Amino acid sequence: MGNNSEMQVDTQKIRDLINQDKSMIKLMLKVCAHCSMCAESCFLYVHSPDDPKYIPSYKMLNSVGYLYKKKGNVTWEDLERIKEIVWDNCVLCTRCYCPLGVDIPRMISLARKICRSQGVYKEYNT
Amino acid sequence: MIKIEQKPFQEIVDCIQVYDHILNVGCGGCASVCMGGGQKEVNILNAELEMYFDEKGQNKEIGSYTVERACNMTFLEELDEVVKDYDCILSMACSAGVQFIAERFPSKPVFPAINTVAIGVDRDIGLYEEKCRACGDCVIGYTGGICPVTRCAKGLFNGPCGGTNEGMCEVHKDIPCAWYDIHERLKAQNRLEDIYKIREPMEWQNQVQRAVVHPDYAHRYMEEE
Amino acid sequence: MYELLRGPLATASFIIFFLGIIYQIIRFFTLTRKYQPVSRINGFTRTDKKQNKPSPAIQKLAKRKGNVMGMEPNMAVITTIFHILVIVTPVFLLSHNILILESWGFSLPSFSEAFSDFLTLLVLAFGVFFLYRRVILAKVRAVSSLSDYLTFLVVFLPFITGFIAYHQFFAYKYMIILHMLTGEIMLVCLPFSKLVHMLYFFLNRFFLVSEYNFGPGGRVW
């Protein structure tokens, strides 16, 4: 994405997107027991077992979880970091296993939606 | 996305039975989403094959590796070190990916464990519908968003045939007639004149291998005219 | 202090617990909606191509490789047993049932005290396993935070203090007060912290449409 330093992050838009599903997001973030039993269901994690960045719950908590906790008040650096989590560390193969039934792919795609709303997205020609 | 289906078990067995060290390569893209060839399916198939061959008294080593997408050569680089230990590769990626794998490792026999069925949509969990035949000349703008190539058994472009029967296709009583649905949808949108014009039949462009060159990159691959 | 914990606070914590549970159940059913699976398959399913699978015995064993029993069998077994025990142990405890009988006039059946003792020790052993997992395993450490350790304390302190109090190892009066206090804290915290997964395990895994659900699933978010 081009240089965004002149523009501010539209935190209100992020808040609006979160508020559309606020109850569900809040609930899912709470229900996540931080057990990391989802780890082995992610083939990216299975390839690099010492790297926690591929654990589905880690990805969810550090993308949507972070956006929710900060109430949308994030910086461009935060969004770039979240972009790396939800695009580079996740292929949205939607096969994450959660013993508690948390819909992790839905959370990741919500994080992607929020990033896209700010003009932050993965570009495939770089 | 591409929808796939696992091959009959015996067919897979027949392909690999002469080899002792087999690598099963899964794909984290389309194959995973339609639950046909992701990491989980690779693990299950490997377990089935190992148990099957154990029963027959044959000892085979079947490894597993799931790549992010088999249709991109950069994601196949990580296989380079892995395949050295195996005699052959069995892949649960879609056939496009399997061909890429075969291209990258031309000296290793490569077998598909799945049949690529369709470009389709996720209708419901575990239910995938074909929606597109990749004909290369999309006309659904004129047919109310319904593809006559995919949905009409005869691929007609100018209205239903004489076999249409109360909205159903003559091929099977449970198959809706595509042109009936097209007509109803365009009628509801007041766009029936779109199908009143005679259209030339589909000039199938899939008889030879096609390539898509993005205009921004034409200069890299094609000579200036 | 004892009278306070034994009387009104106990009642209050139970009421908060049950109200909280009901609130969370209602929340689940209001946030999700009924979902009708499609009634018709559009298109030919290729039943002419015989699917041809290996023998059912092989299929059954192989399926396990794909699910959590194949991925993390130790944790799957331990966590299932632990969760059953963490409910069963206090509910069928003789001491608790005597108190309930004295307070509310009914009681549930109880295990023998020796058996309950054994169950408590099992729970504590599993607690050590979970703590080990959370502290030592990198993948669990990566998603852990202070709230996880606090939750661990909230859950296991009632068991530890109860065990010590029952055996009257030391400071019985303080132990029993601590036991009641930590137990009531756990009850009150349960519906409003990550412990609500007690409820949502069943709600999510049985009602939601998902690859990993147990029931047919008839709801979506």
Looking at the predicted structure, is the pLDDT value of residue C50 above 80?
A: no
Looking at the predicted structure, is the pLDDT value of residue B83 above 50?
A: yes
Neighbours of chain A (3+ CB pairs under 8 A): B, C
Whether the CB of C210 is below 8 Å from some CB of chain A: the reply is yes
Query: Hey, are the CB atoms on A91 and B29 less than 8 Å from each other?
Result: yes
Pick A11-117's CATH classification: 1.10.3470, 1.10.1760, 1.10.1060, 1.10.150.
1.10.1060
Whether the CB of C149 is below 8 Å from some CB of chain A: the reply is no
Domain boundaries, chain C: 2-18+71-213
C-alpha C127, offset from chain centre: 13
- In this complex, how many residue pairs, one in chain B and one in chain C, have their CB atoms less than 8 Å apart? 59
Residues A75 and C191: beta-carbon distance below 8 Å: no
Q: How confident is the model at residue C36 (pLDDT cuts 50, 70, 90)?
A: confident
CA distance B33 to A93: 5
Q: Which helix (H) or strand (E) holds C201?
A: helix C197-207
How distant is the Cα of B32 from the closest Cα of chain A, in angstroms? 6
Neighbours of chain C (3+ CB pairs under 8 A): A, B
pLDDT tens digits, one per residue of C150-209: 999 999 999 999 999 998 888 888 899 999 999 999 999 999 999 999 999 999 999 998
Contacts of B69 in chain A (CB under 8 A): 91
Three-state secondary structure call for residue A25: helix
pLDDT tens digits, one per residue of B112-137: 999 999 999 999 888 899 999 998 88
CA distance C138 to C78: 19
- Max distance between CA atoms of chain C, in angstroms, equals 76
pTM for this model (two decimals): 0.87
How distant is the Cα of C57 from the closest Cα of chain B, in angstroms? 10
Domain boundaries, chain B: 2-118, 134-225
Structure tokens at B39: 């990491």
C220: phi then psi, degrees, rounded to nearest 5: -135, 165
User: What per-residue confidence (pLDDT) applies to A5?
Assistant: 55
Three-state secondary structure call for residue B173: coil
Q: What percent of chain A has pLDDT over 90?
A: 72
Nearest by Cα to C72 from A33, A97, A92: A97
Q: How far is CA C104 from CA C10, C97, C196, C217, in A?
A: 12, 10, 26, 38
Whether the CB of B41 is below 8 Å from some CB of chain C: the reply is yes
Q: How confident is the model at residue A1 (pLDDT cuts 50, 70, 90)?
A: very low
Structure tokens at C101: 């009988």
C-alpha A62, offset from chain centre: 6
Whether the CB of B173 is below 8 Å from some CB of chain C: the reply is no
In chain C, which ranges are E strands?
33-34, 219-220
Query: Hey, are the CB atoms on A93 and B29 less than 8 Å from each other?
Result: yes
* Among A24, A52, A61, beta carbon nearest to C138: A52
Q: Are strands B110-112 and B88-91 parallel, antiparallel or unpaired?
A: parallel
* Among A44, A46, A93, beta carbon nearest to B33: A93
Angle between helices C197-207 and C8-31 (to 10 degrees): 30
- Please report, to the nearest 10 degrees, the dihedral formed by the alpha carbons of residues B33, B34, B39, B41 taken in order: 170
The CATH topology of domain B2-118 is Rossmann fold (3.40.50)
Whether the CB of C65 is below 8 Å from some CB of chain A: the reply is no
Contacts of B55 in chain C (CB under 8 A): 58
